[in-house]
Chains A and B, each alone.
Chain A
Amino acid sequence: MSLPHKMNLENKLSRQLSGIPRSGIRDFFELVIGRSDVISLGVGEPDKATPWPIREAAIRSLEKGQTSYTSNLGLESLRVGISGYVEEHFGVSYDPKKEILVTVGVSEALDLAFRAVLDPGDEVIFHQPCYVSYGPTITMAYGVGVPINTRLEDNFTLRAEDVEKAITPRTKVIALNFPTNPTGAVEPPEELEKIAALCVKYDLLCFTDEIYSELLYDQAKHVSIVSFPGMRERTVLLHGFSKAFAMTGWRLGYACAPPVLLEAMMKIHQYCMLCAPITSQIAAIEALKLGATAYEPMRQSYEERRNFVVKRLNEMGLNCFNPGGAFYVFPDVSCTGLTGREFALQLLEEHSVAVVPGEAFGPSGATCVRCCYATAPDLLVKAMDAMEIFVKKHRK
């Protein structure tokens, strides 16, 4: 009897999956992990713990024994709270009974939305540099991602004319994320209006991830694409608690959409996730009750840190626009003669400061690095001092 061949597991993997590269962030993470001396500007989350009243609400619920499943859609009281919050912040009203779905972070909601509408070969337009999961999530849903590069000279906003050029008969969805991770870009309302008009003109869906909508600076007020004429009926609005309420680890997001779209997303969610964790949902109810009182002090502090970081980066000669939202800056490091990746690797090596190579967010960010300024002010000062020495040494 001959021995069986050793199984080749690589051959057993889905072909769809093998076409997807590893996340550039994970790549870099492995270089940093295990070093205790690093000042990290590499995180995508607030530097503070979740505000205490929110944590306390979760603790109380555990003491009371609230540990069960919830409705697939999420706790009704949470959906009612979300409905009120969304109406107040985005100017659009959604029925908590059939137009709001509570998910495990916006990441799950995005995955559900793509899987709910995409057939193999359907195209999704999205802007780059962007959050790492857009391209892969589209591919995993058998769609074809069509990235549009945004430019430093436009402060990484998206030009409606570029969108129109990318539209083909196979285009089904335009995916937006403003304010943007990793650039901090905020789309001007007049450009947003033009993109909305394109969605209507070409009968496209719009998935808009507005997770950073509370973190806007210079007295700006958030404008959502869903508020433009003809958009509510074709938009999936994605939002969550991670950024504004410093709740990244709770994994809680939500989707608001017309009933047909929401029901399709719900179908996938109920089989693959069942429901979002109840403790996180109860915490989120408390977060909504607190509203701006929970995030306004953090927002104000981020704005001050942004002012500091942008000034320092420009003074040391890096080309860095003043981002209007989120908590990232995305300086171009070309003046050092290094790519973003080389810059990040050498900065880590020589000064123990971690920033993320821009290429992790798409090829158009290859000359940039992402720095998160939701980092304690004393560490920001140290990191900027180190970067200044580094840039001086390498500057061409």
Chain B
Amino acid sequence: MLILKPKFEFDVSVEAELTPELAEKSLEEIKNFKVWYGNAEKTLGELFDVEKEGDGKKLLLDGDFSKVKWVGTGMDDGEIVIKGNIGANCGAYMKGGRITIEGSADDWLGAEMKDGEIIVKGNAKNLIGCAYYGNPSGMQGGKILIEGNAGNYIGEKMTGGTIEIKGNAGDFIGTEMKGGEIIIHGNCGYAGGDMKAGTIKIGGEFDLLPTFRKSENGWTGDVLVGGEGRILKI
């Protein structure tokens, strides 16, 4: 296991593509791992206290990581545990393994992820499981669980996998959705705009677009794009 603690409070964002494989490297290699601090290239050791306990594929990020972006990007195995908040793009392009965030997550959580699991104990912001601008598909598989609330644009263009939000969410849920499942236990705004397939389950209040037709235990649409997606009440 590799334990990282920020050495100081970051003024600007840090771009650090940290994956659990890092924990298997030698301490020296880890300390020399390149990250960006604003527009300056730095080593991991310059920004973080690095400690190693055994060779397990696990990262423990201890402290405030809310300005640290791209943690867990593209990871395919192992585990990351974040004791505090985490910055944007956490778990983007993830292919496997697990990320547990004990604090809150920023935008683009699990964007375009293919498999694996992300659990957030606090809240998450916008664009969870989305496609990056211009790409045709968002989240394709895996599971994201948010125990708190979430922002806007959840699961845009997703084609598979599950996003579950225990609290409330914002507007534009499952826009252009092509598959998979979004579950919101609380309230949310407009859901399912231009959705072609997939399921959105909502426990609380939500806004329904006029382009959905009533069907068995819910609504089907978006008819604007000949879609067969389903919005269900739970």
A and B interact: no
Residues in chain B within 8 A of chain A (CB atoms)? none
- A residues apposed to B, CB below 8 Å: none
